[in-house]
Each structure stands twice: as structure tokens, then as C-alpha cells.
Amino acid sequence: MRQYDLIIIGGGIIGGSALYHLSKSGFKGRVLILEREDALSKGSTALSAGGFRNIWTTPINMKLTGYSIERLKNFREELGFPIGFDQRGYLFCQYEENFESAREFGQKWAENGVRIEFLDARQVEEKVPGLRTGIDHIDPEVNEVLKMRPIVGGVFGPDCGSFDPSAAAQGYFERGMEGLSGRAELRLNTEVRRLRLEQGECRGVELSDGTVIESEKVFVAAGAWTNRLLEQSGLTGNDLPPVVPIKRMLYITNLPPIEGFERIPLTIVDHGIYFRPEGPNLLIGRADPDTEPGFDITPDAQYYEEQINYYLQERVPGMERCRLISMWGGLYDTNAIDHNAVLGEHPSAHNLFFATGFSGHGAMEAPAAGLAISELVQFGAYRTLDCTPLSIERFRKGKPIHETIVI
Ligand SMILES: Cc1cc2nc3c(=O)[nH]c(=O)nc-3n(C[C@H](O)[C@H](O)[C@H](O)COP(=O)(O)OP(=O)(O)OC[C@H]3O[C@@H](n4cnc5c(N)ncnc54)[C@H](O)[C@@H]3O)c2cc1C
């Protein structure tokens, strides 16, 4: 008999959600959680913007986030943990041709139960007091560089919002461990060097200090570090999900001095710049499409000044006087092919499960993804949400599921 029935590698929100859902459905096995940091939730989960939205182009994302948002909404009731759930909405501001395509896509959202309000420019300005949708006020020479265009409308999702992923991860781990009453063990400061893969089966792990731990099943929830571990375990080529670590940065400034600005939805403007109030401040981000893959997460103030603030100043009066208070970088586990999660049991290694590639939407999909993995581990099949489309097999079969609304 092996020492454990399941090892979970990674103390982030995905590992936590799987643990919690196993305990909830009466899993009787012994579980070991291994996290290399000195505390849970120190990876991307802690560095996330915590946004959630059901506005996507792929049905699988609409399904996973639709389900997850309901679970996050009831998180406090279900687990007894506050997670700062705030359903203030997402507002995608649109240039003309994007707005037209969005309108054409409206039927698909309706069919998938995604509530959307299409706003004209005036209504956009009402939702975000102070926002200037036009460009007549911008010096034409400046706009030669900025290439900003009139915002003609907006796609508003009233069911979207934000939460605190770290708090949710903590809640999942605490309740999950309680629920498994003594059968779950957490080891911090414990790094897995490689998985023990033999004859097409995963039989446990080897730690960085050489200790071998046997387990019936292993779930790799190591976020952006998943592929590194799979590679160290000898997997190559098609056996690796097409996922790379990419740095994304977030910035905190003062709120601009505009009456009512503290109540605005998460707002996405030119070139994917997004912002929302964070307590008394403003949280701001913009994905840099030129960032090379890598594990460095050093934040860059110059990027804020040159690639964000020049644009924001033209949209939001007073932004030029808002002080940059803090900033940080973290890693997206970016799926370089289709920007969607890759999860399930590994086709080349029986009893090896993994979930990565969330490309910036892992926190919001954690309730669904953790549940899905827990069902695969416990019952050998998905029961609540069919995540088969997200299997790694889709790349082998040449059937990626491209998600195009990625921020
Ligand atoms: C700046 C930024 C903004 C984001 N914004 C959003 C957002 O608005 N909405 C959203 O849904 N998502 C967002 N995300 C993405 C989201 O944070 C991630 O998808 C999610 O947190 C992934 O959770 P995880 O548990 O898979 O990974 P992580 O939280 O990274 O957890 C993985 C854990 O595994 C551990 N680990 C790794 N390797 C090993 C090993 N060999 N041995 C032991 N332990 C190991 C790590 O230390 C880490 O704690 C954002 C991410 C960033 C960086």
C-alpha cells in the first residue's frame, strides 16, 4: 500500500479548491499537500487582480465562470470565509469595429446565459464618471503616438466583479483539511523535484532533498511552474501542455478626484488597459504582448508611466496627478496556443492529474476547475462539469479552443 492516496503539489487556489471539493464529496483517502513556500497562497494566487467575468467567446469559459461566479457569491455562506466578493460589473469600452462584432456576438452570450448590456458612449460616461470617450481633446501630435480612437460604446457585464483569491485559497485549504478530519497533511517549505513516472503511471514524488513519497495519485497544481516540474520528470514534446510563464504587472495609484469614481465597474479602455477601485485606491493593469516567457516578476515603473499613464490621463481627468503607490509582478500560466486551461488526467501517465494554462483566468475558474479535478480523482470521470474539451489531447488532435477575450 502506498503512503498516500493523493498528493497535491501547490498551495494556491487551484490546489485548495480540489482539496475542498474532495472533502465535500466524502473522499476517504489520505492526502498530502506539498508547497515549497513557507505559507499557502504565495504564488500567482496572491498576486492576482482577483477579477471575475462570464464574458468570453468560448462556451467552455462561459460555463466554467458562470458556475464559479455563483460559488464565489455563496462562498461566505458555504465555507464561512469572507472573500471580498464584489459584483460591481465589468465594462469593456469599445472602438467602432469591436463594438459591432460584440453586438453580433450578443446572441451567443444570450444563448449561454451571459447577461450583457450594450451601452452607447453617453451611457459609458455615466457608468464611469469623468471618463472622456471622445478624442477631440487629445493633442493630434500626441495621438500620433498613442493611437487612441473614439470609444463608441461599451459591453457591460453586471454579473462580473472581483474577489480576494488568497482569502478563497485559505478558506478552501482550511475547510478542506477540516473536512478530511486528520487524513490531510500539509508540508510547507517542501519542494517537489520530480514526479515518479514509471511504465506509464505516476507513483509518487521525489522531493528536492531526495526523499521519495509514494502515492496512488498525484495532482500537480503548481500553476506557472507546472511545466518545469513535468519536464524535470522526463516528459517532453506533446506530453507537455503548451504553457509558458509570462510576467504580468499590477499598479496601485490614488483614486482620481472624481465624485462617484469609487463606485465604477472594472473598466477596460484603450489597448486593454484596465482599472478598478481597490479600497481607497485604484488598481491598474495592462498586459504587455511583447513580454518574453520567463520566471522573473520584477515590476517596472517605467511601463506604468509610458504604456499606461499617458493613455489613462487622456481618458480620466486628474490621472496625471495620481501617485503610483505600489506595484508588483506575478506570473500568468499562459497557454501560448489557445489561452485556455489545460487540465485532466495525463494521457501518458495514469494517475497523474494537472491543471494549468489558465492564462489569467485561473482564480475565477478555480471553483469549477477544483471541482472537476476532484471528481476525476475520486470517481474517474467528470460528473458536474464536463471539462473534456480542456484536455491536453486537444493539441494532439489539432483542435485548440481559442479564447480571444484575454486581458
Ligand atoms: C498580475 C496577475 C493578475 C491576475 N489577475 C487575475 C484575475 O483578475 N482573475 C483571475 O481569475 N486570475 C488572475 N490571475 C491568474 C490567477 O492568479 C492564476 O490563474 C491562479 O492564481 C492560479 O492558481 P494556481 O493555484 O494554479 O497557481 P499558484 O497560485 O501560482 O500556486 C501554485 C503553487 O505551487 C507551488 N509550487 C510550484 N512548484 C512547486 C514544486 N515543485 N513543489 C512544491 N510547490 C510548488 C508554488 O509555490 C505556488 O504556491 C492573475 C495573475 C497575475 C500574476
Contacts of 75 (CB under 8 A, 6+ apart): 81, 83, 85, 163, 168, 171
- For residue 44 and ligand 1, the question of a CB distance below 6 A is answered with yes
- Ligand 1 center–CA 44 separation, angstroms: 3
Domains of the chain: 4-83+164-242+337-396 (3.50.50.60), 90-158+244-335 (3.30.9.10)
**In angstroms, rounded to a whole number, what is the distance separating the alpha carbons of residues 32 and 367?**
20
Q: Looking at the DSSP assignment, which residues form a beta bridge with residue 215?
A: 4
Which residue has its alpha carbon closest to ligand 1 atom 33? Answer: 10
| Residue 230: other Cβ atoms inside 10 A | 25
Distance 12 CA to ligand 1 centre (A): 6
Is the pLDDT at 405 greater than 90? The verdict is no
355 CA: nearest ligand 1 atom: 26
Phi, psi for residue 355 in degrees, rounded to 5: -150, 110
Report the nearest-CA residue for atom 22 of ligand 1. 362
Mutate to test the pocket of ligand 1, among 34, 45, 53 (most ligand atoms within 8 A of CB): 45
How many A from CA of 143 to the centre of ligand 1? 37
Does 1 score more than 70 pLDDT?
no
Do the Cβ atoms of 218 and 194 come closer than 8 Å?
no
What's the CA-to-centroid distance between 380 and ligand 1, angstroms?
Answer: 25
CA distance 80 to 293: 38
Ligand 1 contact via 10 beta carbon (within 6 Å): yes
For residue range 127-154, what is the model confidence (pLDDT) as tens digits? 999 999 999 999 999 999 999 999 999 9
Interval 317-364: pLDDT, tens: 999 999 999 999 999 999 999 999 999 999 999 999 999 999 999 999
Residues paired with 154 in a beta bridge: 93, 119
Q: CA-CA distance, 145 to 338, in Å (whole number)?
A: 30
Distance 3 CA to ligand 1 centre (A): 27
Q: Is residue 191 within 6 Å of ligand 1 at its C-beta?
A: yes
Work out which ligand 1 atom sits closest to the CA atom of 248: 1
Q: Is 161 helix (H, G, I), strand (E, B) or coil?
A: strand
- Bridge-partner residues for 352, per DSSP? 218
The tens digit of pLDDT for each residue in 209-252 reads 999 999 999 999 999 999 999 999 999 999 999 999 999 999 99
Angle between helices 362-379 and 59-73 (to 10 degrees): 90
Chain-wide mean pLDDT for the chain? 96
CA distances from 40 to 33, 34, 54, 165, 258 (A): 10, 10, 27, 12, 38
The model's pLDDT over 149-202, given as tens digits with 9 standing for 90+, comes to: 999 999 999 999 999 999 999 999 999 999 999 999 999 999 999 999 999 999
Contact in structure between 370 and 71 (CB atoms under 8 Å): no
Cα 151 to averaged position of ligand 1 atoms, centre (Å): 33
